[in-house]
């Protein structure tokens, strides 16, 4: 079985390891900001985190924009409207994310 990248919503998702039927880690490649679709903000119960491998990623959380660079991570409540994308137009950015079987991000619900 070959691990093939998948393109969705202007992003490229590269599987990291063979699928096991449960959780799957992916490297997410964000193209330069001019190549991204317009931001679509989402909110839902739970928490989310991501780790920046390279480049500069912007997190917009309830209207506040924060830039993170390689080696930085974010952890936030997904109850707040949020969007993640590349912050630069001259180079791609890369993060690590974990997804479930249906291709959705895995979120940790506060107990």
More confident residue, 111 or 39: 39
Distance, in Å, from the CA atom of 85 to the CA atom of 72, rounded to the nearest integer, reads 15
CA distance 44 to 100: 16
The pTM for the full model equals 0.78
Domain boundaries, the chain: 6-99
Q: What is d(CA 10, CA 29) in angstroms, rounded to the nearest whole number?
A: 9
More confident: 48 or 85: 85
User: In whole angstroms, how large is the CA radius of gyration of the chain?
Assistant: 14
Question: 6-99 sits in which CATH class?
Answer: mainly beta
Structure tokens at 57: 């990623």
């Amino acid at each position: 079985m070959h691990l093939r990248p998948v393109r969705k919503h202007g992003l490229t998702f590269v599987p990291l390891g063979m699928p096991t039927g449960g959780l799957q880690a992916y490297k997410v490649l964000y193209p330069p900001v001019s190549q991204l679709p317009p931001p679509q903000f989402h909110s839902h119960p739970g928490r989310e985190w991501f780790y920046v491998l390279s480049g500069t990623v912007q997190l917009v959380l309830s209207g506040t924009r924060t830039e993170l660079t390689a080696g930085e991570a974010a952890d936030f409540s997904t109850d707040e409207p949020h969007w993640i994308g590349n912050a630069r137009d001259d180079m791609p950015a890369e993060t690590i994310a974990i997804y479930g079987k249906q291709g959705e991000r895995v979120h940790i619900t506060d107990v």
